[in-house]
Structure 1
């Protein structure tokens, strides 16, 4: 069952087209990743889903209701976490969480207390004394303590340390196991890889690719920089090897994850002096795959 249906969404600000014919479908119990560089159109799309902006054209429905006309009804079953949580400075963190839960009318005090402990938050401090990460914790606790059917998370881990990021990921998987849906907008590829069932990539207002991780294997290529005692012969012709660049201090290559073991074993025969491995950044992906693309492509066959 589709909870979110976006068809032909276009948004213009004057002559500037912020979104151009965007399609999206989020099913019940699905974690949907929405990724792209800053300024690509992620937040504009989310504001339209939340009923904060009106689409120039296209159809946007949540729970079968129009996102603009029926925003009040939709928000009864929706929880939202922005990338920058602005809170009342003179209230304590606990008071802010209680206000949000009271406004929703369907929050759980037991769940609230459990999440405060899991996120290691001191709820007695005034909001003006909190760091960015602690303000983000308040927004996350308020969202996950509510009984929502759809969670819209826009750069939700901004300011969190790695331990709290893991707690966040656990919370996302828990609501998924309860049959609820999540839209996760992020520029952190590793976070999206760990959590999402389906991913859409947006660039310059256009969704350029949609699919599952298995359908988008190029997203999981590893960047490898290697220096060997003996020159590597014709490694560019091996299965799973892409973008071979020779440097004075070695060779840089991209390798499909499933072929990584085979390639490393091959390289080791030539005497490894240095080996550095890094995951691809989103910037790498856009520069290498989409820089010269002016058309919308879909590998997943969904929503495009």
Structure 2
């Protein structure tokens, strides 16, 4: 079952095309990563999905309901955490958590207390005294204490320290184990790489790649560290080989994944003594799509 379906979504702000024919499908029970630089269209897509913005054209459904026309009904099953949480300054953190939880029926107070302890939050302080990280904690505790079936998380760990990021990751893994669905928008690539079943990359309002991490790794290169008994000749001239460094018998280089077999065959006659392969990371993949001609990341502001 598809929990989220966006088909042909366009969103224009005047003459500015923020989203261009965006298609996005998220299945029940999966953690889906949505990555791109600032201004790529991530938050705009999520706001269309949540019914906060109306698409210029295309269809958006959540649990089979129209995201715009049936927003009240669909939101009963959604927990949303933005990247910059604004809270009522005169309420305490605990009061805000209770308020959010009450919107989805009878609250689970035991889960609330457990998460307050795990996120190390003082719920008696007023929100006006909270740091950005503590405001994020309030929203995350409220979300993961709810009975939501879909968690829409837009840069949810912004402002959290590494220990709290780990707690967040554990919470995502727990709701996934319960068969719930998570849509995670993030620029913390290690977080996406650790948690997500599938990934979509968006650039300048257009979806450019979707798949599992293993499926997307064909787009980038693998780093090989090699030691041979005999000196290797003309390795740098082989198709698919890049950035060769080291000596003739102990060297490192990058190889295009589709040329891996051919390069290994080329090395075999030189008596390979050691070969170490480092698979490409999501960051490598991300940089390949976003690094411009001048070496800077491109993105719409």
Provide Cα deviations, 1:166-210, integer angstroms capped at 9, x if missing partner: 111110011111111000001111111111111110000000000
State the TM-score, normalized to the length of structure 1: 0.79
Q: Distance in 2 between matches of 1:121 and 1:235?
A: 56
More off after superposition, 68-77 vs 116-125 = 116-125
By how many angstroms is 1:287 displaced? 3.9
Q: Distance in 1 between matches of 2:134 and 2:221?
A: 34
The number of residue pairs the alignment matches comes to 274
Who is 2:173 aligned against?
173
Contact 1:187 1:282 in 2 (8 A): no
The within-5 A match list for 1:112-151 is 112-151=112-151
Q: Which runs of 4+ in 1 moved over 4 A?
A: 218-225, 231-239, 251-257, 266-269
Q: Distance in 2 between matches of 1:219 and 1:116?
A: 41
Q: Distance in 1 between matches of 2:241 and 2:72?
A: 49
Who is 2:65 aligned against?
65
Who is 1:205 aligned against?
205
The structure with the larger Rg is 2
The within-5 A match list for 1:1-304 is 1-218=1-218, 234=234, 236=236, 243-244=242-243, 254=254, 280=283, 284-287=287-290
By how many angstroms is 1:147 displaced? 0.3
Provide Cα deviations, 1:6-29, integer angstroms capped at 9, x if missing partner: 111111111111000010111110
Q: Distance in 2 between matches of 1:238 and 1:92?
A: 64
Contact 2:8 2:58 in 1 (8 A): yes
Q: Distance in 1 between matches of 2:232 and 2:75?
A: 58
RMSD: 3.4
Contact 1:3 1:64 in 2 (8 A): yes
Does the residue aligned with 2:110 lie in a helix, a strand or coil? helix
Provide Cα deviations, 1:35-92, integer angstroms capped at 9, x if missing partner: 0111000000000111110000001000111000000000000000000011111211
Q: Distance in 2 between matches of 1:238 and 1:186?
A: 37
Does the residue aligned with 2:32 lie in a helix, a strand or coil? strand
By how many angstroms is 1:284 displaced? 2.1
Query: 5+ residue gaps in structure 2?
Result: 226-230, 294-301
By how many angstroms is 1:285 displaced? 2.4
By how many angstroms is 1:134 displaced? 1.0
Q: Distance in 1 between matches of 2:61 and 2:130?
A: 36
State the TM-score, normalized to the length of structure 2: 0.80
By how many angstroms is 1:136 displaced? 0.6
Contact 2:115 2:145 in 1 (8 A): yes
By how many angstroms is 1:267 displaced? 11
Q: Distance in 2 between matches of 1:87 and 1:185?
A: 21
Q: Distance in 2 between matches of 1:235 and 1:107?
A: 64
